[in-house]
Amino acid sequence: MSADLVCGLQWGDEGKGKAVDYISENYDVVARFNGGDNAGHTVVHQGNTYKFHVIPSGVLRGCLGVIGSGVVLNPDSLEEELHQLDGSERIVISKRAHLILPSYKLLDQKLEGLKGSKVGTTGRGIGPAYAFKAFRFGVRVGDLFQTGLEEKLSEARRLVESLNVEWIEPDVKHWKEILAPYVGDDYKVLHEAYLDGQRILFEAAQGFLLDLDFGTYPFVTSSYTFTNGVHAGSGFNAKKLGDIIGVSKAYTTRVGNGAFPSELSGDTADHIREQGAEFGTTTGRPRRVGWLDLVALRYAVRVSGCNKIFLTKVDVLSGLDQVGLVTAYEVDGESVSDWFDFSQGALERVKPVVKWCDGWENALVEGKLHKNLLTFMETVEGTVGAKIQWVSYGPSDHETLCML
Ligand code: IMP
């Protein structure tokens, strides 16, 4: 019996979609437990490109896809995703998942306007959906199919209007049609699958550094983005988790605002952004780029319990004479490398200490990883304390090397 987790170790967009698609070959069930359509996974599968927001990409390989209680769901956006599939896929959506009501997007904008320093959200109404849930004014998927829906919507409407935001009536009749075939009980499905000996893969959205508690608050998302979210967001017994597979790019990107110690600008940044097509899947925004930050990565590995790393996009760095790795921060004249323990203000002041590695013209030479890339990977493993088990050197599923 096995239940493992794939989570991002950075600020999202690490290539989790590809990692899950590749790894899910070995699983029967793939489950999401956090976030909503703020996430964007691009998956190239058998020559076709898919863009997923909430549907676990493993459904392409015939896995059962579970959308857990901790997810916030926009049924209109889900409908668009469903159009990419041929209808044979098996999907269960938790009746406890909260709905993203249309007014939440307006509220998301309004909240951004009220902040001195904007978070730079995806504008999908994610924060408001989690806030309404915590206020106990949320409307859940299961409510659509029960008596009392009108009263729940009126409550939400009263709260929305009390915040001077326009109420937009959701088309609940249509939402019911979209969701009816899929509504179920995530924890039961997962528990039964586990007892039945099926292999379960949990797929986190966003990344460790965007976690509501352990990320770079307040420039974070509103959910639990790694191991901490599995139990809360799916009801699956977290004690039964096996491997924690962390996905990291060979460099770092960030969309939205907030400190970014290893950030680059100029030609190297442009090279990486262009080669890596670093533009947001959900918003199209150009991503900020920087060297791989091992101080932050080690923090993510330690707190998440990550024991295996899936390293992505090593090909994007091809052609650079030298490749940087941030191994420490200089703070007020002192070098700090052990724990990532900074307030937002302090993080903005740190200066990265860069270790330079010789670059590689091509990631692969005669079917083997370039020796300079191997040296780069050894430094990463030695510093963060987890093994790199997979290396991805291109967008397609076959452009992946398993290091075992
Ligand atoms: P929200 O999740 O839309 O509230 O946005 C909060 C922060 O998380 C912003 O900085 C977003 O850019 C970031 N964010 C949310 N989802 C993703 C993602 O899937 N990839 C990368 N960044 C994300």
Domain of 295, CATH number, reads 3.90.170.10
The residue with tokens 């740190």 is: 350
What is the mean pLDDT of the segment spanning 318-333?
94
Residue 82, classified by CB atoms within 10 Å of its CB into exposed (0-12), middle (13-18) or buried (19+), is middle
Q: Is residue 307 part of a domain?
A: yes
Ligand 1 mutation target, pool 74, 221, 285, 344, most atoms within 8 A of CB: 221
Atom 20 of ligand 1: nearest residue by CA position:
12
Which one is predicted more confidently, 136 or 20? 136
Q: Mind listing the pLDDT tens digit for each residue in 111-163? A: 999 999 899 999 999 999 999 999 999 999 999 999 999 999 999 999 999 99
- Residue 172, pLDDT > 80, answer yes
> Which amino acids bring their CB within 6 angstroms of ligand 1?
11-13, 38-40, 119-122, 124, 126-127, 205-206, 210, 219, 221-222, 255-256
Q: What pLDDT sits at residue 396?
A: 84
How many Cβ atoms sit within 10 Å of the Cβ of residue 155?
16
Q: For strand 48-52 and strand 90-94, is the pairing parallel, antiparallel, or unpaired?
A: unpaired
Q: Which residues of 300-311 are buried (b: 16+ CB within 10 A; e: fewer)?
A: bbebbbbbbbbb
Higher pLDDT, 290 or 341: 290
Average pLDDT, the chain: 94
Nearest CA to ligand 1 atom 5: 121
- Residues 228-239 have pLDDT tens digits of 999 999 999 989
pLDDT tier for residue 378 given thresholds of 50, 70 and 90: very high
Q: 10 Å Cβ neighbour count for 169?
A: 10
Q: What is the pLDDT averaged over residues 37-51?
A: 85
**Residue 341 CB coordination number (10 Å):** 9
- Residue 52 pLDDT > 80, yes or no? yes
Determine, yes or no, domain membership for 75. no
Query: Average of pLDDT values for 206-230?
Result: 96
Dihedral sign, CA of 303, 294, 399, 15? Answer: positive
Domains in the chain: how many in total?
1
Q: Kindly report the backbone phi and psi dihedral angles of residue 208, in degrees, each rounded to the nearest multiple of 5, phi listed first.
A: -50, -45
Residue 234 has a CB neighbour count (10 Å cut-off) of 28
Supply angle C-alpha 191, 192, 194, rounded to 5: 65
Instruction: Tell me: pLDDT of 47 over 90.
Output: no
Answer whether residue 197 shows pLDDT above 80.
yes
Is residue 188, in this structure, part of any structural domain at all? no
Q: What is the pLDDT of residue 44?
A: 77
The protein residue with its alpha carbon nearest to ligand 1, atom 22, reads 12
Testing ligand 1's pocket by substitution, the residue of 118, 255, 257 carrying the most ligand atoms inside 8 A of its CB is 255
Distance CA 89, CA 232 (A): 26
Give the span between the Cα atoms of 306 and 314, in whole angstroms: 20
- Residues with catalytic function: 13, 41
CA 223 to ligand 1: nearest atom: 2
The residue among 353, 349, 340, 348 whose CA lies nearest residue 384 is: 340
Place of tokens 């990692």: 19
d(CA 194, CA 202) in angstroms, rounded, equals: 12
Pairwise CA distance, residues 243 & 2, whole Å: 9
Region of poorest pLDDT, from 34-48, 79-93, 198-212, 307-321: 34-48
Atom of ligand 1 nearest to the CA of 283: 12
- Band (342; pLDDT cuts 50, 70, 90): confident
Q: What pLDDT sits at residue 285?
A: 83
Q: Ligand 1 centroid to 181 CA: how many Å?
A: 29
In ligand 1, the atom with minimum distance to the C-alpha of 255 is 12
CA of 224 to the centre of ligand 1 (A): 12
What's the CA-to-centroid distance between 42 and ligand 1, angstroms?
Answer: 16
Instruction: Name 365's Cβ contacts closer than 8 Å, sequence gap at least 6.
Output: none
C-alpha 359 – ligand 1 centre gap (Å)? 31
The residue to mutate among 7, 121, 283, having the most atoms of ligand 1 within 8 angstroms of its beta carbon, is: 121
pTM (two decimals): 0.95
Q: Identify which has the larger pLDDT, 105 or 337.
A: 105
Tell me the percentage of the chain whose pLDDT exceeds 70.
100
Tell me if 269 sits within 8 A of 302, measured CB to CB.
no
CA nearest ligand 1 atom 2, residue: 221
pLDDT tens column, 245-295: 999 999 999 998 899 999 999 999 999 999 999 998 777 889 999 999 999
Q: Is the residue at 367 inside a domain?
A: yes
Q: What spacing in Å lies between the alpha carbon of 124 and ligand 1's midpoint? A: 9
Q: Write down the pLDDT at residue 41.
A: 80
- Distance, CA of 367 to CA of 1 (rounded, Å): 34
Confidence of residue 362 (pLDDT cuts 50, 70, 90): very high
Please report the pLDDT score of residue 345 as a whole number.
80
Taking residues 40-46, report their average pLDDT: 79
Q: How many angstroms separate the alpha carbon of residue 231 from the centre of ligand 1?
A: 22
Residue 51 above 90 pLDDT?
A: no
For 321, half-sphere exposure in the C-beta direction (CA atoms, 13 angstrom radius) is: 1
Q: Is residue 280 part of a domain?
A: yes
Range of the domain at 326: 248-402
Q: Can the peptide bond before residue 170 be classed as cis, meaning omega within 30 degrees of 0?
A: no
Tell me, what's the pLDDT at 174? 98
* Most confidently predicted of 35-49, 287-301, 326-340: 287-301
Q: Is 291 exposed, middle or buried (0-12, 13-18, 19+ CB in 10 A)?
A: buried
Relative to the CA of 257, which ligand 1 atom is closest?
10
Q: So what's the pLDDT on residue 250?
A: 98
What pLDDT band is residue 209 in, cutting at 50, 70 and 90? very high
